[in-house]
Each structure stands twice: as C-alpha cells, then as structure tokens.
Amino acid sequence: MADDNVPEEMLGQGRPGVPARGRGPNTGEPFSRRDYRHPAAGWGAAFSVGKVLARTREPVDGTRAIFRMNHENYGFDCPGCAWPDSTKGLRLDICENGIKHVTWEMTPKRVGRAFFAAHTVTELSGWSDFALEDQGRLTEPMVYDPSSDKYLPISWPDAFELVGAELRKLDSPDEASFYTSGRLSNEATFLYQLWAREFGTNNLPDCSNMCHEASGRALTAALGTGKGTVDLDDWGKTDALFIIGANAASNAPRMLTSLAEAYRRGAQLVHINPMVEAAARSTIVPHDFLAMATFHATRTGTLNVRPRIGGDLALLRGVGKVVLEAAETDPKAIDREFVDRYTHGFEDYRRACAEATWPELEFQSGVDEARIRELAGVYMRSDRTIVSWCLGITQQEHGVDTVREIVNLLLLRGNIGREGAGPCPIRGHSNVQGNRTCGVTHRPSEHLLSRLAEVCGIDPPRAHGLDTVGTIAAMHRGDVKVFVGMGGNFALAAPDTAYTFQALRNCELTVQVSTKLNRGHLVHGRKALILPCLGRTEKDRQRGGLQGVTVEDSMSMVHMSLGMRNPASRHLLSEPAIIAGMARATLPHSATPWQGYVDDYDRVRDTMAQVLDGFEDFNRRARLPLGFRIHQPARELVFLTESGRAEFSNVPVPDVVPAAGRLTLGTMRSHDQWNTTIYSDDDRYRGVKNLRTLVLMNRDDMRERGLAEADLVDITSIARDGSRRTVHGYRAFGYDIPRGSAAGYMPELNLLCGIGDFSPQSGQPLTKHLTVEITPVTARVAGTDRRGTRRERVPRRGGGAADG
Ligand SMILES: Nc1nc2c(c(=O)[nH]1)N[C@H]1C(S)=C(S)[C@@H](COP(=O)(O)OP(=O)(O)OC[C@H]3O[C@@H](n4cnc5c(=O)[nH]c(N)nc54)[C@H](O)[C@@H]3O)O[C@H]1N2
Ligand SMILES: Nc1nc2c(c(=O)[nH]1)N[C@H]1C(S)=C(S)[C@@H](COP(=O)(O)OP(=O)(O)OC[C@H]3O[C@@H](n4cnc5c(=O)[nH]c(N)nc54)[C@H](O)[C@@H]3O)O[C@H]1N2
Ligand SMILES: [Mo]
C-alpha cells in the first residue's frame, strides 16, 4: 500500500471508511468482543503471565526477578504502579501487570547502532508504537542526523555538550522545559529539579499534570496536604471502601488482595463507575494458591453505583444531602464534634446540599434518588470509611471540585485522622508521588525555593513555570525551544496529538532519556538526542559502589529499591549520572557537587534531608526494612490551611450532560497496556480481543444512530473553541454503560482532545470528558458488508513480517 508511512492515517485520520489501526501489535487476528465472566486475576492472569514470560524468552531470570520484586530488604520496587507494598513482611505481593511491566524492561532484545543505521526516521515513523518498543532496549546515546534522516551514535561527553550548548544559547532559561514521567527515583528527581532551577526555570511539567494534579490541588486546599492520609493498614481496618473512577483489576491489581480481605472481614465495598469493572465483581488472588487450585473466588464488590461520565459531584452532593437530612433527626448521622472542632465552611456546604434539588441531582449524576439513598445508607452505617479514587474523577473539567466533594463527605462523619478512614487517591506511576515530594512541580512553594536557596546555594526563580499543556502551547508558538523528556512518552501521552507533534517539531533541541524506542524519538526537534538509561531492575554501579534509589508509594511510604540485573548494555548510564552530565555541561561554573552526588547517592540523600520536610535522617531511615512513612500532618488532624482547619467547599452542581445528539467520551487503558506501552490488542476483563480502535456505547445510543454491533463509525470531537477533530474507522460495541457516555482507549484517542480542552481548575486535559458525535462510517469499505467486517483482517504493519 502506498500509504505505509503515514501513521496518522493508520490511526484513523483522513481516510473515511477504512478501519483504523491502533498503536498496538495489530496481529491481523480476527477481533471479537463478548462479556468476560471469570473472576479478576486468577487463572486468566496466570496464563497471561506465562505468555509474557515465554515471549521474553527468559522464564528463569524473569521469574527470579519477580520473586525479588517488592520484598522488604533489597528487592527492587515494582515499576508497575504506585500501590503500596504489603507491610506484613515477606509475602509474594505481585500481580500480573507488574510482571508484564518488569519483563518488558528485561527483554533480551536490543536496539543498537546497526538498527539505527538500517532505518531512517521517516521509515520508522510508519511503524506501530508496539513495534517500536518491541525492538528492545536502547544501548547507547544517539543523535539525529538530518542529512541522512537517521540517528547516529554520539559519545556521552558530546551528547552532554550538545545539551549544554543549546541551553546556554537561549535568551532566557524559560525557553527550555523539563518534563518528568513518574518513574524517576527520588534522588534523580531531586537532581533534575535542582538542575532546572539552578539553570533558572520552574518549567517542570510532569505526568501528574495529566494524572492526579486535581487531587493534589483539592487536598491541599481542603486539608493542607497534597496527598492522601491513609495507609495500607487503614485499608485493613475500614468498614466501608468506596472505589471511584478506577479500573483496579487492570491498573492497581494488588488492590484486589486488599478488597478480597476486606470482603472477608465483612466490609462494604462500593464501586462508583459508569462501567462495572472487573474489580467490582470477584477475584482469585494470585498468591492464594489454594484458591487458585480450587477456583474459589472471593467477592470484591458489594454495591455498584453507575453515574454518567462527570456525574460524580452531583452524586456525592446527593449523598451529603441524605446524610444531612438524617442528621436532623439522628444526631449520630454526622460527627458534629469533629465538624465544630476541626472544620470550616460547614454551614455553606449544608446550604449547598439543601438547595440542590433531587431532579437536578438525578439528572446530573444519572443515578436515581433511591440508589443515592442506598449509597448514603452504606456510608452512614460505616464507622470508618475510606474513599479512594483515580482518573475517572481527576481527568474532568470539575476534577478539583469533585475531589473536594469527596473530602466534604468524609469530613461530615469525621473520617479523617482516624484508623481505617480517610481520603486515598490511587496514584499511577510507581514514583509519581515521590517526584512531587522531591521538588518536581511547576508551582513550587516559597518554602521549597527558600530551602533550596539556603541549602544548595542556588538562586531559584520565583515565578511559576509551565505545566504540560502550557509547555506544548509554548513550543507550538516557538517560545520554548528546548524540550527535555526525563522518561515517559510525551508525544503520545499528551493531548491533541497532531498539535503536540508540531510543537515538538518546532523545537531547536529535543532530548529523550529513555529505556526503549518510542514515538517521542521520531517526533523530534531540529536537533535531537536519545539518551538511554538503566532501568529500575538493573544494578547501578558508581565510584562509591552499588547504589540504591528510593521511591514513595501512593500511601507516602518511602523505601529503597536496588537493581539486581546486569545492565542491558555497558554504555548505559543511570538517570542521576545523565542528569549530572547535562547539568555540568549547562552550568560550567556551578558550585553544586554534581560528580560527588553521582559517585555516592547517599550524598544526594544528605542534601535532600536538609531541603525536604519529612526526610530528616533520610539515609538511615531509607534503609529500614520497610522504609519509612513521610510525616503527614493532616493524619494527626493538623491542617495546614489558611484557617488552620479542614475546609468544606460548596460549589454549585456543574452541568455535565451532553447536548442532544452528542456523547461524552472517556479515554481509558486496556488491560494489556501500560500508558503508551501496549503489550497486546486484548482487553481481557472487558472481553475484547485483537482490537483497540473501538468505542464502547450504550446499546440505545447505538440504536439511535442506526448502529449494529461492530459497525464502523467516525468519531468527531467538538472542542470548547468549536474546532472539530475526527477519527475514522473505529468500531462501535454495545456495552453496559449509561446513556450519553462512551469509552475508548488512550493514547489513540488523544487525537480527539483539543489542546484548549483542559480543566481551568487543574490544567489537566479533559481526557475523560471529550464531547463527541459518533456517526456511521462516511464511506463503505469495498467488498465488506456491515456484518462481514467482523472477519476482515486489519492490514499488518510495524511489528509485522516486513520489519520483525
Ligand atoms: N497495568 C497498568 N497499570 C497502570 C497503568 C497502566 O496503563 N497499565 N497506568 C498507571 C497510571 S499512570 C495511572 S494514573 C493509573 C490509572 O488507573 P485508572 O484510573 O484505573 O485508569 P483508566 O484506565 O484511565 O480508568 C479510568 C476508570 O475511570 C472510569 N471512569 C471514567 N469516567 C468516569 C467518571 O466520570 N466517573 C467515574 N466514577 N468513573 C469514571 C472508567 O470507567 C475506568 O474504570 O493506573 C496506573 N497503573
Ligand atoms: N487520552 C489520555 N491520555 C492520557 C491519559 C488518559 O487516561 N487518557 N493518562 C495520562 C496519565 S495518567 C499519565 S501518567 C500520562 C503518562 O505519560 P508518560 O509517563 O509520559 O508515558 P508512559 O507511557 O508511562 O512512558 C513510557 C516510556 O517511558 C520510558 N521508560 C520506561 N521506564 C523508564 C525508566 O526507568 N527510565 C526512563 N528514563 N524512561 C523509562 C520508556 O521509554 C517508555 O517508552 O499519560 C496521560 N495521557
Ligand atoms: Mo497517571
């Protein structure tokens, strides 16, 4: 086919009538979708793990690594997610997706200089994203050569000098932006932000800007802390757990263990989600060998409440309304003493609840009054309640307000600062929380800046910097000229793919510190570097000996992670070494002991202990068997807010209902992907095989559009500025989802998220809230009828025969 090198087209742009291909392997096997009825994890997970280990062709080493993962004392921290490790000592606390994630990093395949010599960037641009990552681990630094359109080897010193020279050339340090993805260790994070701030900018966008920014902002405003207040022991003591807007079985599978344990204890497990995800049903916990052998499943949900997309605030307001009504006759319905002693703004919140009418709450939430009352009943009968949430709440226009509404409810019954109770955001990347704790933020506090000035002797800029969306817009305008990506896959993770690609291409220099080849290496600036680094599983040897790094999990536990494998290539450097190399080249007169820091990470930790609150005696405490928990004032009922109390909020219930003919589309992950890394085109728990370019719709919404199962559709988003973006050739499937709501996969559907469509409250792109029109295909594929399309083979590319 002539269009082989146009990835945008294979993704469904510009080719009406042709089935779109996703960013996964596109094996060409027939696709299907049917309901999955088995328990989560269990044998489905075991088989899937077996397949992955077989594919990496090293089951023995793979298995050994897994047995070291997340163990107290000298394991490496699973890079899969930020769910905390069990504190009950040695226990095989692992999950299917963690194993996939680790073995993905441990692949024996390598992308060396011969590979780059054989392929131009233009050619590689036609490969699928799966095919790019599937080439294996990067082995040495590479620089883009425009004359041959290829990447050529470059020495580390020359690479550093190129970065330094480009940065020194800028008119202002604010013409550079320094992105982080949440994998980076605490030590590397600290050095990274030190480099950016010593250089002179707070342009430190991170993946949090697309992830839990809303949670941080809301919790800070309400409780004076950016983090949740509960830990895993609290999960073991709670009476009621609310899990809102999360697909835990796929994205935090180790949570299944806690849910199963809670169920056995008799706790209520409420799932609030437009879709009934696998974790809302039952599980066979993989390390419960007896259950595995006898197929004995444990329930992991006791109540499902299914709001429309964006309907959570109205739903939670309704719960508050019921609780406050009950309090009029039953003083125990709320914890009046707690409210009086520790909170502020209660009367205004009470009024907001009283003024909200049931028709409005039902319409905006999509849940009827009886169900809301049932939910409130569960809440009122529970003495200790934990509310946890993830992206279904945060990637919304009203994400901050909704997290605050969660806190409102918790405050009503004093569910903070007590065992078994509190707010619990479920973070994504394994160290995304640590990145923020250790200084990566475009809105640093005056306190952090003055500590940095005093301890590190730098003069950090005081003005706030650019976040992710702000960085993209500034690159697009030409105001940011150098982009450094410290991990991650900015090009695909960010919204408005076409706009973001252009923004990156406008740069003078793009630098990507990565472990694997990805789209960000192909969508680059005039000059471009790929700098390969050690992965978390690998030994990090420096002059001072073997080094460990620390990470912080979702529940503020900080602990050591020690790599155990030999590096994928002897040319790899650690992330701290790469950062220090770039920093020295950028700041030739710097008084910061960059080399000393790299020689021995204890020295970085000693400095961190002086700069960061809660890191006192860092080196010793990091080496405790289970690490340590960062002191959390809100947990002790100390609220670092202006009023010194926990703050109620009282915003009006927002209008989230799509206009007639339109739907709200949320983008989400499949079971077989890790953000932009896609392992296969299957989504087991949603019963999908071999297809990513799909949209799950309510069956009545399909009927209304004349759509039958698996029909090809065009999806057009309508941005707030009125601009439209279309993907062609997606397939519609009927799914148990509320009317007016629809779902499809990220990162493919980032094509539809306009750059201006972010929440003014958090700056987060509205990737769970795209306003779309879904219509039958505008042209028919020659030779296929409506139903016959099921059998049709999607053309192969990328990882297929041509380049595999
Ligand atoms: N295996 C694996 N693990 C991961 C990741 C991965 O890609 N793969 N990614 C990691 C990262 S960075 C993150 S942030 C987390 C993400 O973890 P999740 O938040 O679970 O990620 P999503 O797949 O985006 O799923 C969002 C969920 O929100 C629901 N939802 C959508 N809209 C709404 C709404 O309006 N209200 C409510 N109540 N629910 C809604 C969807 O139905 C879906 O269940 O997982 C982390 N862990
Ligand atoms: N439409 C839509 N878009 C979204 C989301 C959504 O739900 N919908 N979710 C958003 C969220 S929650 C997040 S967190 C972002 C994720 O955005 P990112 O964090 O930028 O993306 P990842 O896919 O996690 O990054 C994968 C890349 O990280 C590199 N990598 C892996 N391990 C290491 C390592 O140890 N060191 C280094 N230096 N590099 C490494 C590899 O090269 C790999 O290709 O995406 C956001 N984008
Ligand atoms: Mo995330």
Tell me the per-residue pLDDT of 654-670, one tens digit each, with 9 for 90 and over.
999 999 999 999 999 99
Looking at all shown ligands, the one closest to residue 81's CA atom is 1
DSSP 8-state symbol, 142: E
Q: Give the pLDDT band (50/70/90) at residue 64.
A: low
* Of residues 628, 550, 524, the one with CA closest to residue 145: 524
* Of residues 395, 426, 222, 415, the one with CA closest to residue 319: 415
The stretch 699-704 carries a mean pLDDT of: 98
For 87-219, where are the E strands, in sequence order?
Answer: 110-111, 137-138, 142-145, 150-153, 176-180
Looking at all shown ligands, the one closest to residue 746's CA atom is 2
Is residue 570 in some structural domain? yes
Q: How far apart are CA 736 and CA 687, in angstroms?
A: 12
Using a 6 Å cutoff on CB, does residue 45 contact ligand 1? no
For residue 286, the model assigns a pLDDT of 62
Side-by-side strand order, sheet with 557-561:
549-552, 557-561, 628-629
277 and 303 share one domain? yes
Atom of ligand 1 nearest to the CA of 246: 20
Q: Average pLDDT over the chain, rounded to whole? A: 90
134: helix, strand or coil? coil
Distance, first Cα to last Cα, the chain: 18
- Calculate how far, in angstroms, residue 115's C-alpha sits from the geometric centre of ligand 1: 35
Q: How far apart are CA 378 and CA 471, in angstroms?
A: 44
For residue 366, the model assigns a pLDDT of 98
Which residue type is seen at 804? G
By alpha-carbon position, which residue is closest to atom 38 of ligand 2?
487
Torsion of CA 453, 457, 463, 468, to 10 degrees: -100
By alpha-carbon position, which residue is closest to atom 35 of ligand 2?
535
445 and 370 share one domain? no
By alpha-carbon position, which residue is closest to atom 14 of ligand 1?
428
DSSP 8-state symbol, 631: P
554 and 689 share one domain? no
* Of residues 130, 389, 385, the one with CA closest to residue 251: 389
The tokens for 539 are 């030994």
3-state per-residue secondary structure call for 654-676: CCCCCCCCCEEEEEECCCCEECC
Predicted confidence (pLDDT) at residue 779 exceeds the cutoff of 90: no
For residue 103, the model assigns a pLDDT of 75
Atom of ligand 2 nearest to the CA of 489: 20
Question: End of a domain among 425, 460, 494?
Answer: 425
Residue 272: CATH number of its domain: 3.40.228.10
By most ligand atoms within 8 Å of CB, the mutation choice from 668, 673, 770 for ligand 1 is 668
DSSP 70-118: T-TTT-PPPSS--PPPPSSSS-----HHHHHHHHHHT-S-EE-HHHHHH
Using a 6 Å cutoff on CB, does residue 390 contact ligand 1? yes
Is residue 233 in some structural domain? yes
Which residue type is seen at 685? Y
The stretch 568-583 carries a mean pLDDT of: 97
Is residue 166 in some structural domain? yes
Ligand 2 site residues, Cβ closer than 6 angstroms: 133, 181, 183, 207, 210-211, 391, 395, 428-429, 486-490, 493, 513-516, 518, 533, 535-536, 575, 667, 675-677, 746-747, 749-750, 753, 767
227 and 196 share one domain? no
Q: Provide CB contacts within 8 A for 40, sequence distance 6+.
A: 249, 253, 256, 278, 279, 281, 282, 283, 284, 300, 685
The string of pLDDT tens digits covering residues 599-645 is 999 999 999 999 999 999 999 999 998 889 998 899 999 999 999 99
Pairing of strands 646-647, 741-745: unpaired
Pairing of strands 688-689, 545-547: unpaired
Residue 716: CATH number of its domain: 2.40.40.20
- Calculate how far, in angstroms, residue 400's C-alpha sits from the geometric centre of ligand 3: 16
Atom of ligand 2 nearest to the CA of 669: 7
293 and 420 share one domain? yes
Answer positive or negative: Cα dihedral of 746, 749, 753, 755: positive
The string of pLDDT tens digits covering residues 751-766 is 999 999 999 999 999 9
For residue 91, the model assigns a pLDDT of 43
- Calculate how far, in angstroms, residue 629's C-alpha sits from the geometric centre of ligand 1: 26
153 and 285 share one domain? no
Predicted confidence (pLDDT) at residue 86 exceeds the cutoff of 70: no
Stronger pLDDT, 403 or 45, i.e. the higher one:
403
For residue 352, the model assigns a pLDDT of 98
- Calculate how far, in angstroms, residue 495's C-alpha sits from the geometric centre of ligand 2: 13
Stronger pLDDT, 11 or 591, i.e. the higher one:
591
465 and 593 share one domain? yes
Using a 6 Å cutoff on CB, does residue 676 contact ligand 1? no
Q: Provide CB contacts within 8 A for 187, sequence distance 6+.
A: 549, 550, 576, 601, 604, 605, 608
By alpha-carbon position, which residue is closest to atom 34 of ligand 2?
535
For residue 104, the model assigns a pLDDT of 75
DSSP 8-state symbol, 739: T
Using a 6 Å cutoff on CB, does residue 49 contact ligand 1? no
696: helix, strand or coil? strand
* Phi, psi of 540, deg, nearest 5: -115, 100
Predicted confidence (pLDDT) at residue 273 exceeds the cutoff of 90: yes
- Calculate how far, in angstroms, residue 371's C-alpha sits from the geometric centre of ligand 3: 31
∠ Cα 133 139 141 (to 5°): 105
Answer positive or negative: Cα dihedral of 574, 575, 576, 581: positive
Which of 72-81, 311-320, 494-503, 555-564 is the least confident region? 72-81
199 and 246 share one domain? no
Residue 609: CATH number of its domain: 3.40.50.740
Stronger pLDDT, 34 or 788, i.e. the higher one:
34
552 and 405 share one domain? no
Question: End of a domain among 616, 647, 673?
Answer: 616
Is residue 648 in some structural domain? no
Q: Provide CB contacts within 8 A for 638, sequence distance 6+.
A: 224
DSSP 302-367: SEEE-PPTT-HHHHHHHHHHHHHHHHHH-GGGS-HHHHHHHEE-HHHHHHHHHHS-HHHHHHHHS-
Looking at all shown ligands, the one closest to residue 747's CA atom is 2
Q: Provide CB contacts within 8 A for 479, sequence distance 6+.
A: 174, 175
Q: Provide CB contacts within 8 A for 785, sequence distance 6+.
A: none
474: helix, strand or coil? helix
Q: Provide CB contacts within 8 A for 703, sequence distance 6+.
A: none
Q: How far is CA 668 from the centre of its chain?
A: 10
- Calculate how far, in angstroms, residue 762's C-alpha sits from the geometric centre of ligand 2: 19
For 206-290, where are the E strands, in sequence order?
Answer: 240-244, 268-272, 282-284
The string of pLDDT tens digits covering residues 405-456 is 999 999 999 999 999 999 999 988 888 889 999 999 999 999 999 999 999 9
By alpha-carbon position, which residue is closest to atom 15 of ligand 1?
428
By alpha-carbon position, which residue is closest to atom 19 of ligand 1?
391
For residue 296, the model assigns a pLDDT of 80
Burial 340-373 (b: 16+ CB within 10 A, else e): eebbbbbeebbebbeebeeebbbbbbbbeeebbe
327 and 378 share one domain? yes
Q: How far apart are CA 54 and CA 60, in angstroms?
A: 10
The stretch 780-802 carries a mean pLDDT of: 37
Is residue 62 in some structural domain? no
% of the chain beyond a pLDDT of 90: 76
Q: Give the pLDDT band (50/70/90) at residue 72.
A: low
- Calculate how far, in angstroms, residue 456's C-alpha sits from the geometric centre of ligand 3: 30
Q: How far apart are CA 381 and CA 410, in angstroms?
A: 13
Is residue 515 in some structural domain? yes
Is residue 27 in some structural domain? yes
Which of 8-12, 728-732, 743-747 is the least confident region? 8-12
Q: Provide CB contacts within 8 A for 157, sequence distance 6+.
A: 581
Q: Give the pLDDT band (50/70/90) at residue 52.
A: low
Is residue 56 in some structural domain? no
By alpha-carbon position, which residue is closest to atom 32 of ligand 2?
515
Torsion of CA 703, 707, 708, 709, to 10 degrees: -100
The tally of domains found in the chain comes to: 3
Which residue type is seen at 391? L
Boundaries of domain holding 794: 8-36+663-800
Question: End of a domain among 425, 446, 469?
Answer: 425
337 and 360 share one domain? yes
Q: How far apart are CA 552 and CA 437, in angstroms?
A: 9
| H/E segment holding residue 436 | helix 432-437
746 and 675 share one domain? yes
Evaluate whether 415 touches 422 at the Cβ level (below 8 Å): yes
- Calculate how far, in angstroms, residue 487's C-alpha sits from the geometric centre of ligand 2: 8
For residue 57, the model assigns a pLDDT of 53
By alpha-carbon position, which residue is closest to atom 44 of ligand 1?
247
The string of pLDDT tens digits covering residues 444-480 is 999 999 999 999 999 999 999 999 999 999 999 999 9
For residue 280, the model assigns a pLDDT of 87
Atom of ligand 2 nearest to the CA of 516: 42
For residue 45, the model assigns a pLDDT of 73
Using a 6 Å cutoff on CB, does residue 666 contact ligand 1? yes
Atom of ligand 1 nearest to the CA of 272: 38
Using a 6 Å cutoff on CB, does residue 686 contact ligand 1? no
27: helix, strand or coil? coil
